Amino acid sequence: MIIVLRQGTPQAEIDHLTDMIVGQGISVNPIVGSDLTILGLIGDTSRVDPTQLESFQCVERIMHVAEPFKKANRMFHPGNSVIEAGGATIGGKGLAVMAGPCSVESREQITTVAKAVKAAGATVLRGGAFKPRTSPYAFQGLKYEGLELLKAAREETGLPIVSELMSPYDIERFVEDVDIIQVGARNMQNFDLLRQLGKTQKPILLKRGLSATIEEWLMSAEYIMAGGNSNVILCERGIRTFETYTRNTVDLSAVLAVKKLSHLPVVVDPSHGTGKRWMVPPMARAAIAVGADGLMVEVHNDPQHALCDGQQSITPDDFTQVMAEIRAIAQAVGRDI
Amino acid sequence: MIIVLRQGTPQAEIDHLTDMIVGQGISVNPIVGSDLTILGLIGDTSRVDPTQLESFQCVERIMHVAEPFKKANRMFHPGNSVIEAGGATIGGKGLAVMAGPCSVESREQITTVAKAVKAAGATVLRGGAFKPRTSPYAFQGLKYEGLELLKAAREETGLPIVSELMSPYDIERFVEDVDIIQVGARNMQNFDLLRQLGKTQKPILLKRGLSATIEEWLMSAEYIMAGGNSNVILCERGIRTFETYTRNTVDLSAVLAVKKLSHLPVVVDPSHGTGKRWMVPPMARAAIAVGADGLMVEVHNDPQHALCDGQQSITPDDFTQVMAEIRAIAQAVGRDI
Amino acid sequence: MIIVLRQGTPQAEIDHLTDMIVGQGISVNPIVGSDLTILGLIGDTSRVDPTQLESFQCVERIMHVAEPFKKANRMFHPGNSVIEAGGATIGGKGLAVMAGPCSVESREQITTVAKAVKAAGATVLRGGAFKPRTSPYAFQGLKYEGLELLKAAREETGLPIVSELMSPYDIERFVEDVDIIQVGARNMQNFDLLRQLGKTQKPILLKRGLSATIEEWLMSAEYIMAGGNSNVILCERGIRTFETYTRNTVDLSAVLAVKKLSHLPVVVDPSHGTGKRWMVPPMARAAIAVGADGLMVEVHNDPQHALCDGQQSITPDDFTQVMAEIRAIAQAVGRDI
Amino acid sequence: MIIVLRQGTPQAEIDHLTDMIVGQGISVNPIVGSDLTILGLIGDTSRVDPTQLESFQCVERIMHVAEPFKKANRMFHPGNSVIEAGGATIGGKGLAVMAGPCSVESREQITTVAKAVKAAGATVLRGGAFKPRTSPYAFQGLKYEGLELLKAAREETGLPIVSELMSPYDIERFVEDVDIIQVGARNMQNFDLLRQLGKTQKPILLKRGLSATIEEWLMSAEYIMAGGNSNVILCERGIRTFETYTRNTVDLSAVLAVKKLSHLPVVVDPSHGTGKRWMVPPMARAAIAVGADGLMVEVHNDPQHALCDGQQSITPDDFTQVMAEIRAIAQAVGRDI
């Protein structure tokens, strides 16, 4: 951590600040330039609160040298984390492909889709039971009934299931029912929920927030890991930019950044990322080409009658085609599928 | 709602889509142009799910003509809403000024600050008991003890109190203890929390999310109002942009937009909005000049030793000066303080 | 084009507005809803100025149904445009790979790099002679001498050359000297320059502006094409977002959008797009996987001593490796290289 | 300037890098931490090219301590710059108000508006002769005839004139004809144009680019100043964000930032900043309340028939009202008008 001091700060103030920092067990190295003076801090600065330092009148600004996350940091855990969930693995050489409908709608629907995506090569079944909808008047999901239908589909196909959790009240139920608990983009900084999930050992799929920096995303993973649950899978699902042609802007360089900064696996969701069905196959190919550990894809047997997000869902036939395409890409980048 | 059809859509598909929409009690007016055909929908389109329409192959895109929020919409409630909270009013001719420390730290601290801000003209005491911190290792607030200290400060000064809620588990306690429940920016789309708060009658201060559009913000207000609680106060606190000099970019035109689109009161938080103490007074003046219904300002008796966000807190003396400045502005724009 | 009228607009005002529009040879179809009235305009609305319509008091807002660009629009030119430049083709089945140093520095440097990238499979040599630098104190390029060195390298290798133009004063010289004229991101809306380039027949590589929407980008292409020059190649080079880990955020879905909306070829620049050398190979793979018509890559024989942008340049050896990787991807997506 | 080294960099590489830097007359202070090593550079680092440093394999990243601009920097020029232009002053205690139509359309129009805005208290007449339009098919301005009409209006009213320059070919003509040359947002990084303008002594109104950071904006001012022309006036005109309700998002905290970092005057353009006529008066009030040195406002005698941007123009009567409102605000913040 580096402190840039205000121009013309009296020595007495520098001494006062230095004493305060040294009192926390940190060494302070001053660098005195012609116009500016900076202080270099050495030691475990994760315990130093930067906002407290910034409140000193003599502090111009604080610059971070090291990343603020520890357990998620590749610096302290050089090997890739491989997460095991209901028989599927995420983060190893094999790609993880999570596919299924945005919303679970009926037993027939989820079972049909589950069988189809399994046949095409999916390794995890996705399906929404509790749906975060922007409008309070939109369909909110089948809730507990949806979970039951997902379990039935797992029973029939053997595919592990991932589904989104919206309330801390439902954690116990989800831990019992699903194989991976999804935290949606809008809850990425719902710290109360993250903290509760850190107390379980269930794999968590943590979606990147709509305008979350890579560092904030990893800090949210850190929340879960700090509680004792290191089974975190990251999911890039597009960020909000000024561009309105697509629902979001998929940030594939974030996959690279995350894999450099952290040991956690990361998958890409081209369905929410683009909001357009016809963009899903090429963006899925690009995600694998860039080095993602897998995909999360919306597949619906009848997109026109989907109760949510039909415009970004592909059919099982399309999905079979996508799998064929990414197989070739996976081979080219040395991954299995 | 307007549907733009793909070029060259066969009439049979248009008829099929039209029948489906008419079946929902909506009339359809086609406009056939040389290159494109559009369908104008008339009726209560709030029940039509746009994502379902977009999933039809023949639909190029959907354009919204009316805003998707109803209860928050000024079209159906032309007069300004005035919210009453523990003796303070928000949204009337008089300005609401909420001031106090980021975090409640001790009985002495909160009481000292409370007395000082009251003397300077604040109408509500703010103070954080549960703190949403980006890092799991940062100070998370005094929690229930913080609430007790806030109540003691209210007792001593008569100022109503506002504090942030982070978990649905604490709603009952907050309803009992505070006068206004704050929903933080990171929870603006925590729909589970919003829905629960809609079941109370407590005034809710709903902060704008870091990258929330004005429409999404009002839809989150709608979530609370749809549950039966119309006591919603909006708070603009800066949005995330590419600019990094300030913590966020305060969007004062959003105050104007919200007041045109909705009848709900809106206040501005220049402390979180800028993240810089020295920017708070001028941005507070600008907020009043543009027509905000009030302010939310961080005031700390000793910013250098604040346990959080000291760099954006002003002292009670500064606050007294700010109040003097905004009084002159308020007079210029016809508001009382 | 659709006009949404303000609620409660008197019929006389609607009639007045309608007459004005009909006077421009456009038909007007009104759709009268319960709360709102809209007007659907049919005809060649490219001649209607939306800002003029918006200035009518009765107009709430204008919604565009058709894209405002004509010559760049795939609707009126369904086949892909294939651009020929000095022997290279861009936009056909074969991928175009433009490689070379950010800045031309010396005869030896540019010739060495040119030979190396040609051997690895590049089809065009890139090299900056005039450099747009954020700081007036930074190296601004070898200018005319740089152009001479590029020509010498073309002579030796047979590779056509692309270089950035910064001033309209130099157009004549560039038309004579280079095979493709590059318009940089910061000049994407330098309309004076675009207009002048429209008068030539030289292929133009038009980079996307830092915060340009896809529509604005295509409108800038339209400026060139409207002047009579239809040889426009688009180049996605990353957009500005809140994320600061990468220099820009490469928007690969923009490649898909552009290829759907327009018939013009589009290449991707992963070097400027990410600003990080180690991200170039995987982002290059992703660009080809998504369907780009080619790449623009910075290659420098000695990145540590590059006079500009060394941090994002790869070595000739790295480039040879990149070419091997994208060959496999190209094959998987049905492209030649 | 601070260099963060990659973890585990061998001492030999550090020595090599250090020698290279010391060879440029800069001292290097290493700070060796447990996980990371950083180098603090002391001396005139404006001559060091950070991109060159970043290209060293051992360099993790570069952090800037001092601002890269010199002549525009308040650190080296503590007092406010006051610019004199045709009798008007910008940057002093008195506010500068530039008002007039987006486009000059006819002698009668510009003269009528000029007289009206002068009567209301404007100090500079604005009017576009060359118009940067997104579409090549939109009205592009009266060009040289427009300049003549502006001169006639100046003759009649005595108001100095500001108008936008688009081509370096026209600099000589503009220097002769207008009192302030405007550089539009889209040309903020047209470095060729900036460099040419630096050779004149004419006051330059430099608009902030659509997605320009404050630092980039000041670097563009530096371009002009480095050439010898220190008469630069900055103009905040809104930045591009994800919000689409307004044309742009006016960033009033940028006014504060610029006035802290630089000695140059800054005015605000609420017309382009919001794109909505009804937002202009309140945003103008807010701009003065925050501390801007003046305003730039579009005023048109007949907005409905304006040839451009009518939707954001106010009438002379509205403008008279705005002037009355900002007079009261100016008084409250200690400014004259």
- Determine whether the interchain pair B52/A307 forms a contact, defined as Cβ–Cβ distance below 8 Å: yes
Q: Reply yes or no on whether the pLDDT at C81 is more than 90.
A: yes
Residue D52's pLDDT is 77
Looking at the complex, does the CB of residue D253 fall below 8 Å from at least one CB of chain B? yes
Report the C-alpha gap between C69 and C53 in whole angstroms.
19
Collapsing DSSP states into helix, strand and coil, what is residue B24? coil
Provide the 8-state DSSP code for B328. H
Residue B317's pLDDT is 96
Residue A56's pLDDT is 83
Provide the 8-state DSSP code for C278. G
Contacts of B214 in chain D (CB under 8 A): 243, 245
List the chains bordering chain B where 3 or more Cβ pairs fall under 8 Å. A, C, D
Looking at the complex, does the CB of residue A318 fall below 8 Å from at least one CB of chain B? no
- Determine whether the interchain pair A289/C289 forms a contact, defined as Cβ–Cβ distance below 8 Å: yes
Residue D323's pLDDT is 97
- Determine whether the interchain pair A40/D31 forms a contact, defined as Cβ–Cβ distance below 8 Å: yes
Contacts of B36 in chain C (CB under 8 A): 65-66
Q: Which amino acid is at A85?
A: A
Q: Closest partner residue to C252 among A245, A250, A328, by Cβ?
A: A250
Contacts of B167-174 spanning 24+ positions with Cβ under 8 A = B167/A168, B167/A192, B167/B130, B168/A167, B168/A168, B168/A169, B168/B192, B168/B193, B168/B196, B169/A168, B170/B130, B171/B196, B171/B197, B171/B200, B173/B144, B173/B147, B174/B147, B174/B202
- Determine whether the interchain pair C285/A283 forms a contact, defined as Cβ–Cβ distance below 8 Å: no
Residue C62's pLDDT is 86
User: Which residue's entry shows tokens 């305009």?
Assistant: C41
- The pLDDT mean for chain A works out to 93
Structure tokens at C199: 């008068």
What mean pLDDT do residues D289-303 have? 95
Q: What percent of chain B has pLDDT over 90?
A: 75
Residue A235's pLDDT is 98
What is this model's ipTM? 0.92
Contacts of D189 in chain C (CB under 8 A): 132, 134, 186-187
Consecutive H or E run containing C198: helix C191-198
Residue C7's pLDDT is 79
Residue C1's pLDDT is 84
- The pLDDT mean for chain D works out to 93
Residue D303's pLDDT is 84
Looking at the complex, does the CB of residue A55 fall below 8 Å from at least one CB of chain B? yes
Structure tokens at D198: 């630096």
Contacts of D73 in chain C (CB under 8 A): none
Half-sphere CA count of C217, side-chain side, radius 13 A = 32
C255, C226, C277, C83: which is closest to C162 by C-alpha? C83
Strand partners, B233: B205
Torsion angles phi and psi, residue D163, rounded to 5: -150, 155
- Determine whether the interchain pair A63/D34 forms a contact, defined as Cβ–Cβ distance below 8 Å: no
User: Which residue's entry shows tokens 């609305």?
Assistant: C45
Provide the 8-state DSSP code for B312. G
Provide the 8-state DSSP code for C249. B
On whether the CB atoms of residues D149 and D106 are closer than 8 A, the answer is: yes
Mutate to test the interface with D, among C46, C54, C314 (most CBs of D within 10 A): C54
List the chains bordering chain D where 3 or more Cβ pairs fall under 8 Å. A, B, C
Report the C-alpha gap between B236 and B293 in whole angstroms.
11
Sign of the alpha-carbon torsion through B15, B18, B20, B22: negative
Residue B30's pLDDT is 86
Report the C-alpha gap between A105 and A114 in whole angstroms.
13
Residue B65: band (very low, low, confident or very high) from pLDDT cuts 50, 70, 90: confident
Structure tokens at C72: 């760049």
CB within 8 A of B48, min separation 6: which ones? B1, B21, B24, B26, B41
CB within 8 A of A288, min separation 6: which ones? A95, A295, A326, A329, A330, A333, A335, C289
Looking at the complex, does the CB of residue D241 fall below 8 Å from at least one CB of chain C? no
B189, B182, B110: which is closest to B151 by C-alpha? B110
Residues 264..283 of B with a Cβ closer than 8 Å to A: which?
A: 277
What mean pLDDT do residues C311-326 have? 94
Residue C36: band (very low, low, confident or very high) from pLDDT cuts 50, 70, 90: confident
Distance from CA of A114 to the nearest CA of C (A): 27
Distance from CA of D60 to the nearest CA of B (A): 21
Q: Which amino acid is at B142?
A: L
Q: Are strands C232-236 and C266-268 parallel, antiparallel or unpaired?
A: parallel
Structure tokens at B302: 């000793």
What mean pLDDT do residues C196-210 have? 98
On whether the CB atoms of residues C179 and C162 are closer than 8 A, the answer is: yes
- Determine whether the interchain pair D256/B282 forms a contact, defined as Cβ–Cβ distance below 8 Å: yes
Strand partners, A150: none
Counts for chain B of helices (H) and strands (E), in that order:
11, 14
Give burial (CB, 10 Å; 0-12/13-18/19+) of A104: buried
Q: Closest partner residue to A38 among D7, D40, D244, by Cβ?
A: D40
Q: How many other β-carbons are positioned within 10 Å of the β-carbon of residue B36?
A: 18
Lowest mean pLDDT among A199-203, A214-218, D6-10: D6-10
Helices (H), chain B: 11-22, 50-54, 107-120, 144-157, 171-177, 191-197, 214-226, 252-261, 270-274, 280-290, 316-332
Residue C52's pLDDT is 77
Report the C-alpha gap between D14 and D7 in whole angstroms.
12
Q: Reply yes or no on whether the pLDDT at B108 is more than 90.
A: yes
On whether the CB atoms of residues C297 and C313 are closer than 8 A, the answer is: no
- Determine whether the interchain pair D51/C309 forms a contact, defined as Cβ–Cβ distance below 8 Å: yes
Q: How many other β-carbons are positioned within 10 Å of the β-carbon of residue A227?
A: 17
**SS3 assignment for chain D:** CEEEECCCCCHHHHHHHHHHHHCCCCEEEEEECCCCEEEEEECCHHHCCHHHHHCCCCEEEEECCCCCCCCCEHHHCCCCCCEEECCEEECCCECEEEEECCECCCHHHHHHHHHHHHHHCCCEEECECCCCCCCCCCCCCCCHHHHHHHHHHHHHHCCCEEEECCCHHHHHHHHHHCCEEEECHHHCCCHHHHHHHCCCCCCEEEECCCCCCHHHHHHHHHHHHHCCCCCEEEEECCECCCCCCCCCECCHHHHHHHHHHECCCEEECHHHHHCCHHHHHHHHHHHHHHCCCEEEEEECCCHHHCCCCHHHCECHHHHHHHHHHHHHHHHHCCCEC
- Determine whether the interchain pair C132/D191 forms a contact, defined as Cβ–Cβ distance below 8 Å: yes
Contacts of D66 in chain A (CB under 8 A): 35-36
Contacts of C242 in chain A (CB under 8 A): 211, 213, 239
A35, A25, A26: which is closest to A4 by C-alpha? A35
What global pTM score does this model have? Answer: 0.93
User: Which residue's entry shows tokens 């606190």?
Assistant: B237
Half-sphere CA count of B174, side-chain side, radius 13 A = 27
- Determine whether the interchain pair B7/C65 forms a contact, defined as Cβ–Cβ distance below 8 Å: no
Residue B36's pLDDT is 75
Residue D99's pLDDT is 98
Contacts of B303 in chain A (CB under 8 A): 55
Q: Reply yes or no on whether the pLDDT at D180 is more than 80.
A: yes
CB within 8 A of C17, min separation 6: which ones? C3, C39, C53, C56, C58, C59
Distance from CA of B189 to the nearest CA of A (A): 6
Please report, for residues C237, C319, D92, the alpha-carbon distance to residue C280 in angstroms, rounded to integers and kept in the order given. 12, 9, 50
Residue A307: band (very low, low, confident or very high) from pLDDT cuts 50, 70, 90: confident
CB within 8 A of A317, min separation 6: which ones? none
Counts for chain C of helices (H) and strands (E), in that order:
11, 14
List the chains bordering chain C where 3 or more Cβ pairs fall under 8 Å. A, B, D
Distance from CA of B336 to the nearest CA of A (A): 32
Residue A218's pLDDT is 98
Report the C-alpha gap between A224 and A81 in whole angstroms.
15
Collapsing DSSP states into helix, strand and coil, what is residue A87? coil
Report the C-alpha gap between B221 and B207 in whole angstroms.
10
CA angle D75, D78, D81 (to 5 degrees): 120
Residue D235: band (very low, low, confident or very high) from pLDDT cuts 50, 70, 90: very high
Residue A299's pLDDT is 97
On whether the CB atoms of residues B323 and B121 are closer than 8 A, the answer is: yes
Report the C-alpha gap between C206 and C73 in whole angstroms.
16
- Determine whether the interchain pair D136/C223 forms a contact, defined as Cβ–Cβ distance below 8 Å: yes
Q: Reply yes or no on whether the pLDDT at B194 is more than 90.
A: yes
Report the C-alpha gap between C286 and A95 in whole angstroms.
16
Looking at the complex, does the CB of residue C68 fall below 8 Å from at least one CB of chain B? no
- Determine whether the interchain pair C249/A251 forms a contact, defined as Cβ–Cβ distance below 8 Å: yes
On whether the CB atoms of residues D38 and D30 are closer than 8 A, the answer is: yes
What mean pLDDT do residues B88-100 have? 98
Q: Closest partner residue to A51 among B167, B210, B309, by Cβ?
A: B309
On whether the CB atoms of residues D125 and D112 are closer than 8 A, the answer is: no
Residue B280's pLDDT is 97
Report the C-alpha gap between D71 and A71 in whole angstroms.
45
Looking at the complex, does the CB of residue C171 fall below 8 Å from at least one CB of chain D? no
Contacts of D331 in chain B (CB under 8 A): 328, 332
- The pLDDT mean for chain B works out to 93
Q: Are strands A232-236 and A83-85 parallel, antiparallel or unpaired?
A: unpaired
Of all residues in chain C, the one with the smallest CA distance to D302 is C55
For C233-270, b/e burial (b = at least 16 CB within 10 A) is bbbbbbbbbbbebbbbbbbbbbbbbbbebbbbbbbbbb
Q: Are strands D59-63 and D37-42 parallel, antiparallel or unpaired?
A: unpaired
